[in-house]
Amino acid sequence: MIQPSLVPQGIYSVWVKVILSVWMFLVVFIHLLLFGSPEFWLFIERLGLLNILQAWRSWLEPFFTANYLS
Amino acid sequence: MIETIFSMPLYIIMPVVLIGYSAACFGVGTLFLKLFTAHADWMEQISAGTILATGFILGQGILASIWLLLALGGWFSIRFVGVLCFIFAVGGLYIGRSLFSALKKQIISIWHELRADTWGWQLIAGLTITLCLLWVTSLGRPLGGDGLAFYFALGKFVAASHRLVPLPGYEVFTNVGLQGEMHFAALMALHSPEAAKLFSWPTITAAGIMLAALGRVAGMGRRGQWLTLSILFSSSAVIWLSGDGKVDLFATSLGLAAYYWAVQIRFVHTKMVLLLTGLFSGFSIVAKLSYAPVMVPTIALLILWGYESEFRNKDQWRAVLKPFISGCMVILAGLILAFIPHFVKNGLLYHNPISPIGSHAIGWLNQTWFGPDVTRRILLTYPLALTYGSYWSQYGNLSPLILAFLPLIFYLPRPRPFFSSPLVVITLIALAGVLSWIIYNPSVFSPRYILAVLLLLILLPARAAEYVSYYDQKPRWLLFSIMSATYVVILVTGLYFITEAFFPERTYIYLTGNMSECERDASDYCEGMLVINKVAGKGDRVFLADYYRYWLRPDLIQCLSSTREMQKFDDLTISDEKWRFLYEHGFTYLFVDKTTYGSVIDSLTLENPPKWVNAKLLYSNHNELILAYKLKYTNPPNLQKYSCRQLNAPAWDVVKK
């Protein structure tokens, strides 16, 4: 296995870390929007974000759904 | 004696049958492995868990083939099945006893490694194991869909009749490979449809072990293996197949075992490794024919990679050619060996061993699910569609952790030489497999059709996340993000499926005998069929205008309307002719699902039947869409031509009078 010192230091920069962390958060967040459990939506409702997140969900869903022979 | 054993409470009999049958699978596989690897030193380098999983999965393939041949001969009785299971289980446990002590050591070693790691990784391991254990509660999940129509129904049909003939109503479809279905039949013959329902659990566990073992070959450490299992068990494409009576997971475990042993060819060219590659590939294609266009090219590429280092030496390639060709012959022999029982079945039942190829019933192989626009959209968004898609009949996705961890691969050091790295090759093979499917059938978008190859895509992101977890420097945001994402996805998946596929409370109630099969399945179809079961005489014929049949009594399933009879009925245009047809063919019950077969009811004009017909409504659900009738005939205008009789007990046959 190659030691970290041999890996280009640029990819360990804080900015790359921020971008990758945001990416991970985004992927999981979209998953929650589309396949979140009732507990997740209850939590969102308590935060007062239900309407806006449901609007995002209804905007996203058509990109990933289609009926038979459509 | 047997009845006394099987009349024990469900919470005793179900685990006993499930564990005993799993031991029988392991026994057959281990027996086979021992026969061919009596003095194989290289096997010592492979972990006990991997050999155990290999034995179990191989045993599944072999046992299903044995059951198939037994059923074709009409010998599929509890006596044969039970005795063989007992012999294999006891023999396997005796032969493989050293494996269990090695497994104990391996588990202890994993436990010590986990204890030495941080609490965060211990939590990931704990959550993953919990998610895996939750599968047991899919026993309380209502059966539905294809399992009720064919897979589970065929199991009941074979177990009751002791033989395999085309399932009435699905005569054409019975030409598929029957790997999973024969296990269902065997477990039902052992009086445990519940064990049949849960058999997907040891199957996916063994598949998980094979995938983690592949990860080890690809250079993964323990953290990477835990992440691999987290991703596997948080993939909805896997979870949706728990306890639903479908058979896709059998092909998945066989396919992953095939990939594991095909990768091993790179390191050892022994006959055993080659034979296992062929056998597993063949069994997985038999278990799910949609694997053929994916498995054949990808396994071929892995074989070429296996011999690549020898071929690289240009002076030696002629000398290598001979062992390469003989190696390919061994793989081909394994492949053919796995196919033989399937060919025998189709030869006997359809007079065409390679059916559905070459038969008129090839339609279900050439499916089109979506038009050009939607197909283009799916293809352009493939990784996203595999993660977030809810397309028609998609039946689940891959875990979002794959997509989340994917950019982390840029942290992985570039292997030198690039194509010598198993991780690189396995990932490229997985991509080649997906590409093969896209070329073969772009509009059929469903992970379960090629699940084994898709699951190979887990390894690279899992390894990348593991690598970053070791080498992330302060501030360790990446490590924090990896772990947080894993916790959230596992927890959300568990919570989401608690009401969809996992039913702990219902499982408890069902196992303690306080819930019937119909109550568990909460189905109007079940209730309607139960009414017919109660009043119908032995061998009565039911004209079934409905996809589902599992809940009917075994003798009634055997006497059901055939596809040919349904076609003849449809061809008749006048109501009186249809009634005469029903009488001539001996139908005394009518079961109709108006949502899919409304035309049957309309064409019979049930509100005004001929004077010689009395159609008494036995069951109607709340919205009058599922209907069951008892048909009585007084002074019919013609003679009854067909009836259902028990000529070869316990099987029932529709015969001409």
Min Cα separation B597/chain A (Å): 19
User: Residue A42 domain-assigned?
Assistant: yes
Is pLDDT above 70 for A3? no
Q: How confident is the model at residue A5 (pLDDT cuts 50, 70, 90)?
A: very low
β-sheet with B613-620: strand ranges across = B541-545, B587-593, B626-633, B613-620
Quick check: A5 contacting B, CB < 8 Å? no
| Structural domains of chain A, count | 1
Output the average pLDDT for chain B.
94
Is pLDDT above 50 for B417? yes
Q: How confident is the model at residue B40 (pLDDT cuts 50, 70, 90)?
A: low
**Residue found under tokens 């953290």:** B223
User: Residue A43 domain-assigned?
Assistant: yes
Is pLDDT above 70 for B378? yes
User: Which range of residues forms the domain containing residue A48?
Assistant: 30-61
CA distances from B618 to B468, B529, B592 (A): 65, 10, 12
H helix intervals, B365-442 = 372-380, 382-388, 400-405, 422-440
Token readout for B330 is 């061994």
Is beta strand B651-656 parallel, antiparallel or unpaired with respect to B642-648?
antiparallel
Is pLDDT above 50 for B566? yes
Is pLDDT above 90 for B474? no
Phi, psi angle pair for B651, to nearest 5°: -80, 150
What are B308-350's pLDDT values in tens digits? Answer: 988 887 777 788 899 999 999 999 999 999 999 999 999 999 9
Token readout for B440 is 């073969």
CB contact at 8 A, B157 and B56:
no
pLDDT at A58 (0 to 100): 96
What are B595-614's pLDDT values in tens digits? Answer: 999 898 889 988 889 999 99
Cβ contact (<8 Å) for B477 and A17?
A: yes
CB contact at 8 A, B213 and B57:
no
User: Residue A39 domain-assigned?
Assistant: yes
- Chain B hits for A28, Cβ within 8 Å: 400, 404, 485, 488-489
Q: Taking the CB of residue B373, how many other CB atoms lie within 10 A of it?
A: 10
Token readout for B410 is 């840029």
Poorest-pLDDT segment among B1-10, B170-179, B280-289, B647-656: B1-10
What are B99-119's pLDDT values in tens digits? Answer: 999 999 999 999 999 999 999
What are A10-37's pLDDT values in tens digits? Answer: 666 888 999 999 999 999 999 999 999 9
pTM of the model: 0.95
Cβ contact (<8 Å) for B392 and A38?
A: no
A11 closest CB neighbour out of B370, B381, B410: B410
B78 contacts: CB under 8 Å, gap ≥ 6: B2, B189, B190, B191
pLDDT at A11 (0 to 100): 65
CB contact at 8 A, B52 and B103:
yes
- Chain A hits for B393, Cβ within 8 Å: 68
Rounded Cα distance between B569 and B581, Å, is 7
Cβ contact (<8 Å) for B390 and A70?
A: no
Between vectors from CA B150 to CA B144 and to CA B154, what angle results, nearest 5°?
Answer: 120
User: Residue A18 domain-assigned?
Assistant: no
User: Residue A47 domain-assigned?
Assistant: yes
The one-letter code for the residue type at B446 is S
User: Residue A35 domain-assigned?
Assistant: yes
pLDDT at A23 (0 to 100): 97
Q: How confident is the model at residue B360 (pLDDT cuts 50, 70, 90)?
A: low
Is pLDDT above 50 for B10? yes
Nearest alpha carbon to residue B367 among B386, B393, B387: B393
Q: Taking the CB of residue B253, how many other CB atoms lie within 10 A of it?
A: 31
Cβ contact (<8 Å) for B400 and A17?
A: no
pLDDT at B320 (0 to 100): 86
Token readout for B632 is 């009585």
Min Cα separation A27/chain B (Å): 6
pLDDT at B654 (0 to 100): 96
Token readout for B443 is 């509009």
User: Residue A53 domain-assigned?
Assistant: yes
Distance of CA B196 to the CA centre of its chain: 11
- Cα atoms in the 13 Å half-sphere on the side-chain side of B590: 27
pLDDT at B473 (0 to 100): 81
Phi, psi angle pair for B375, to nearest 5°: -60, -45
Cβ contact (<8 Å) for A36 and B492?
A: yes
pLDDT at A1 (0 to 100): 45
Average pLDDT, stretch A65-70? 91
Distance of CA B192 to the CA centre of its chain: 18
CB contact at 8 A, B615 and B603:
no
- Chain A hits for B398, Cβ within 8 Å: none
| Burial of residue B409 (number of CB atoms within 10 Å: 0-12, 13-18, 19+) | middle
Is beta strand B587-593 parallel, antiparallel or unpaired with respect to B626-633?
antiparallel
pLDDT at B101 (0 to 100): 92
Average pLDDT, stretch B439-451? 95
pLDDT at B37 (0 to 100): 74
Rounded Cα distance between B271 and B256, Å, is 19
Min Cα separation B131/chain A (Å): 15
Mutation site, B235, B375, B403, B463, interface A, largest A CB count within 10 A: B403
Residue B37 DSSP SS3: coil
pLDDT at A70 (0 to 100): 85
Cβ contact (<8 Å) for A17 and B408?
A: no
Is pLDDT above 90 for A2? no
Provide the number of CB pairs (under 8 Å) joining chain A to chain B.
Answer: 108
Is pLDDT above 90 for B288? yes
Nearest alpha carbon to residue B259 among B423, B497, B108, B467: B423
This model of the complex carries an ipTM of 0.92
User: Residue A19 domain-assigned?
Assistant: no
pLDDT at A7 (0 to 100): 54
What are B191-214's pLDDT values in tens digits? Answer: 999 999 999 999 999 999 999 999
pLDDT at B365 (0 to 100): 64
